[in-house]
Amino acid sequence: MRTHRIALIRGDGIGPELVEAAVAVLGAVAGQDYRLDYVEVDAGADTYRRTGTACSAENLELLRTGVDATLKGPVGLPDVRLPDGTEAGLLGGVLRVGLDLFANIRPVTLLPGVTSALAGRAAGDIDYVIVRENTEGLYASRGKGVGNRWAVSDTLMTTREGTLRVCRRAFELARERGKSGKSGTVTCVDKSNVLRSHALFRDVFREVAQDYPDIGTEFLYADAAAQALVLRPHEFDVLVMENFLGDVLSDLGGATVGGISVCPSGNLGERVAYFEPIHGSAPDLAGRGLANPVGQILAAALMLDHLGHHRDGARIRRALDTALASGRVRITAEGAAVGGPAAVADALVSLLDEESR
């Protein structure tokens, strides 16, 4: 039996209970052809408070070379701050840049039993993926802004190689989605009418598109894309964009499918990957039986896809769809899960066990 070594970063706030729910669901599908061997990794805001670093060099190297994938809960605590006043303990820059995870894959899907903020939308009407460049763009200036009390400059950096690889990943994803009936179209989102860096992004996108004649292309300025994701979300398949734009527009997309609590993500490099929900740690909800683990559980399903176990990733998504459609799992209008993470995990484990009998 094959064994996958999986790092667990349980995170802060609601993170530990979300990860616990995801691990329970993974346990209901693993075990026939493979097993998951978990390695606990101490990282996040509480880690920073105790040790002075959000993730040690040793643990970063473990994530790079010692595991097959990482499942991460949300991190961050509002009272844990760096000397400059910004939030400490966040791992986005540490892991994405430190592990060269250049593509952030963010599916936006309207699930059964979840009410969209857009009138008249039903499950399946919204089903697209934002591919966010993960190591460059405006966020390359994280911690490197130059200025004083009167003015600060943050530099937006775009490179040809960085854009080539994220665009290739977007086109490959569109090709894979096309096999399951999606449109097979990639939309380039930018502000190339204003920014030279985004003009380069668009030029490189066009260059990559020539290698994928079977994939359709579309170009949208970011402000037009924000409108289109509200007015015609059903028309999109895969969208690729600069780091900051991907951060903003994926949250907009989340608002149209019941909130960001139901949205997973995968951070992918050439050989290393970690998976997480796109939302924060919501410490005010911790331990209250309100946290929604759907994004975390779907991130676990993405991890199984990455490990080559597509059948089991699909089983988790199918069980979630069934649970939501039948009312065995209920999400409130505010995005909370009725009964909290444990109740959701129990419902999915029960459905997966029934399917296995």
Catalytic residues: 139, 191, 223, 247, 251
User: Tokens in use for 61?
Assistant: 């190297």
What one-letter code names the amino acid at 9? I
Cα distance between residue 1 and residue 225, in whole Å: 46
Q: Where are the alpha helices (DSSP H) in 62-123?
A: 92-98
- Identify the three-state secondary structure at position 266: strand
Amino acid symbol at 208: V
Please check whether residue 179 is in contact with residue 214, taking contact to mean a CB–CB distance below 8 angstroms: no
Rounded (10°) angle between helices 310-326 and 15-29: 110
Q: Token pair 């960001």 is at which residue? A: 260
Tokens of 257: 């499918």
Q: Measured between alpha carbons, how far is 262 from 299 in angstroms, rounded to an integer?
A: 10
Report the alpha-carbon angle 24-71-258, nearest 5. 75
Strands 216-221, 273-277: parallel, antiparallel or unpaired by DSSP? unpaired
Rounded Cα distance, 354 and 35, in Å: 20
From the list 82, 42, 11, the residue with the least C-alpha distance to 293 is: 11
